[in-house]
Amino acid sequence: MMFVDAHVHLSDEEYSDCISEVLAGARAANVKALVSNSTDLKTCIGSLELAGRNSGFVYAALGVHPWAVRNLKEDEFNRVLGLISSERRNKALVAVGEIGLDSKYMDVWDNQTKVFDEMLRIAEKLDLPAIIHSRGTTEKIVEMLPSYKVKKVLLHWFSNPISALDKAIENGYFITEGPPAAYSDGIRDVIKRVPLTNLMTETDGPVRFFKGAFKGKRTTPAFIPIVVQAMAEVKKLSVEEVAGQVLKNFEGFFGVNLEG
Every domain of the chain and the residues it spans? 3-254
The C-alpha atoms of residue 247 and residue 254 are separated, in whole angstroms, by: 11
The string of pLDDT tens digits covering residues 12-41 is 999 999 999 999 999 999 999 999 999 999
Please list the alpha-helical segments (H only) found in the chain: 19-28, 41-53, 74-86, 109-126, 138-144, 162-170, 185-193, 224-235, 239-254
User: Model confidence at 141, in pLDDT bands (50, 70, 90)?
Assistant: very high
Residue 260 confidence (pLDDT): 55
33-54 average pLDDT score: 98
Coil vs helix vs strand at 32:
strand
Among 113, 122, 130, 34, residue whose Cα is nearest residue 84: 122
**Which is the CATH superfamily of the domain at 3-254?**
Metal-dependent hydrolases (3.20.20.140)
Q: What is the mean pLDDT of the chain?
A: 96
Q: What is the pLDDT of residue 213?
A: 80
| pLDDT tens-place string over residues 181-219 | 999 999 999 999 999 999 999 999 998 877 878 888 889
Question: In this structure, how many other beta carbons lie within 10 angstroms of the beta carbon of residue 35?
Answer: 30
pTM of the complete model: 0.96
Cβ density class 180-206: b for 16+ within 10 Å, e for less: bbbbbeebbebbeebebebbbbbbbbb
Residue 25: predicted pLDDT: 98
Q: In percent, how much of the chain has pLDDT > 90?
A: 94
